[in-house]
Structure 1
């Protein structure tokens, strides 16, 4: 199965956000290259919110280009075989934490947001990853900073999409 096929299957099985899920599926049906950054009409991305439920906190990255506190994530790569694998790869690379595990049940949210030209949209498929006990983060070249925030601190530092992702992740914990 290709990454494209996996994305379509994951989206068809995502039981929430029906209208947005439909927009994702419509986009992929219209754009067979819709998984890749080269699709300027927009492309699917994969992200994961790194959660430490033992300590009631999440790890956010200060994105180098956007200068915003966000979850780990980014573009799918040809070596990715599933959206879940892409999200876990991105979370591991950007957090420096090995041994992350995705929460079961597939993505916790979808979030479509505009991006600067030449592309138009990111169709982000958002997962949650649990950090192993005693996890130590390591900043990557893609971040200005990497920091743990208590659940109740997130709304003060991140935008509403990250807050909604945290709420959805916490509902699954």
Structure 2
């Protein structure tokens, strides 16, 4: 049995004074939080449990109004603002909506010039194209999903990309080679960019 967790929603903001929060499903997924579902909130915090149980769910014009165990005040709700909500795949039903893009969350991007950019944490939908939000050694990077940047997406493993100039802050890019062969670490060793 798989215990793999996936991002199903994001906490938008607190609602009221008793700890309820407004939650939205991630792009393309149905809202699948139901009472009794155990979820993980990320990033984790030292002063609260990482796992909590969904106690109540009600419709709201901005998403869903959710009450979670351990979140019982406006301060506690404010502390989970912008947290991702993860659930075990075995505990939710996606059916035909389990689309290939869902599998992209958690995949690593490897740039041919800069090396490991980090992990895809969210897929943002814009009128022109999707944008991958990536967290990694360069901080948060927004990568446009266009042909010039993402030539192809392999079925599994790292995703090769060629990000545009100016997408990374120059001060955060160590030892970049201009010949397109990758980067070197602080000791001058080559980092793979395959």
TM bucket, shorter chain: 0.3 to 0.5
Could you tell me the TM-score, scaled by structure 2's length?
Answer: 0.31
Higher relative CO (Cα under 8 Å, sequence separation at least 6) belongs to 1
